[in-house]
Amino acid sequence: MSTTRPGGPWAGASRRAVRLVLSALLLAGPPWTAADASGSMGESDAEIAVDALAGHVRRLSHPEALRMTFEAYYAYRAAHPDRVREPYLFFVDFGLDNRTPRGYVFDMEALTLVDGPFTVAHGLGSSRGRNTVPTMFSNRPGSEATSLGLYVAEETYTFRGRSGGRAYESVGLRLRGESGAFNDAARRRGIVAHGAPYVTRGDAGRSEGCPALEPQRARRLLPMIANGGVVFHFSPRDTRWLREDPWIRAGSAVAAS
């Protein structure tokens, strides 16, 4: 994902090398400042994140999926710094089918991969077949569909569900939808991240609209993301969402300024 910018003192240098040089200069003190460094590189936070993290991502449904996700993340964090209290971003590319590992957790402060890719379930109402790409997304109660957009992770709790006629328990993570009409009914619909026995390394199955994970992975990751992490559900299949999601639009506006 690294690009070369024409001209200027940074031409021909990799972004990683430039960041190392700038870090050394910043540690040396004035006259350098973080603002000066950012301006000199001409890069947004989202571009730097893409450069640092894209190499960890095995497959995407859209070439701009990470950029749009990171722009939305940084726009939301800038608007609501009090709500983003943890550095973790749980990203799911629902433009891929549910046998393809499509979930990642990133540390957005360290710009490192915490885990991924791993399988994540989508809602029954989002696809007609079991192992297909979801094409239908809804915020409507009773739809059993996945909802796209940005969520803030809230509290964990003991999730209770049924699979194959048998009851099970796992960790659950409540989500607050922040993308307006695309996902603001998440709490009312009971849309949560949780572990589920029907999710395996090779097949995520389908849920009632929740991004379900393998039980052991859920126990490890969801408490980290809770109480201030961010969750982002992406798909290029819903063009209206791509045009109108408030945080994608806000992130694009910042990037263009």
From residue 184, alpha-carbon distances to 4, 187, 228 in Å are 40, 8, 17
Give a yes or no: residue 49 inside a domain.
Answer: no
pTM score: 0.83
Name the average pLDDT for the chain: 87
* Whether residues 38 and 114 fall in one domain: no
pLDDT of residue 42: 58
* Whether residues 198 and 93 fall in one domain: yes
* Whether residues 147 and 24 fall in one domain: no
Is the predicted pLDDT of residue 204 greater than 70, yes or no?
A: yes
Give a yes or no: residue 33 inside a domain.
Answer: yes
Is the predicted pLDDT of residue 26 greater than 50, yes or no?
A: no
Residue 40 pLDDT level (bands cut at 50, 70, 90): very low
Give a yes or no: residue 54 inside a domain.
Answer: no
* Whether residues 106 and 172 fall in one domain: yes
Domain that holds residue 20: 1-43
Residues sharing a CB contact under 8 Å with residue 171, sequence separation 6 or more, in sequence order: 156, 157, 158, 159, 194, 195, 218, 219, 222, 223
Is the predicted pLDDT of residue 8 greater than 60, yes or no?
A: no
* Whether residues 67 and 20 fall in one domain: no
Residue 255 pLDDT level (bands cut at 50, 70, 90): confident
Neighbour tally for 52: CB within 10 Å: 20
Q: What does the radius of gyration of the chain's CA atoms come to, in whole angstroms?
A: 19
193: β partners? 173
Residue 36 pLDDT level (bands cut at 50, 70, 90): very low
* Whether residues 66 and 24 fall in one domain: no
pLDDT of residue 19: 46
Give a yes or no: residue 31 inside a domain.
Answer: yes
* Whether residues 102 and 39 fall in one domain: no
* Whether residues 35 and 150 fall in one domain: no
pLDDT of residue 164: 84
pLDDT top residue among 227 and 12:
227
Is the predicted pLDDT of residue 4 greater than 60, yes or no?
A: no
pLDDT of residue 131: 83
pLDDT of residue 16: 47
* Whether residues 28 and 97 fall in one domain: no
CB 150 within 8 A of CB 230: yes
* Whether residues 79 and 191 fall in one domain: yes
Q: Is the dihedral of CA 102, 106, 111, 117 positive or negative?
A: negative
Element (H, E) at 98: none
CB 222 within 8 A of CB 216: no
The span from the CA of 108 to the CA of 89, in Å, is: 7
* Least confident stretch, 17-26, 51-60, 205-214: 17-26
Query: How many independent structural domains does the chain possess?
Result: 2
| Mean pLDDT within 50-78 | 98
pLDDT of residue 38: 37
66-86, pLDDT tens digit by residue?
999 999 999 999 999 999 999
pLDDT of residue 187: 97
Residues sharing a CB contact under 8 Å with residue 77, sequence separation 6 or more, in sequence order: 84, 230
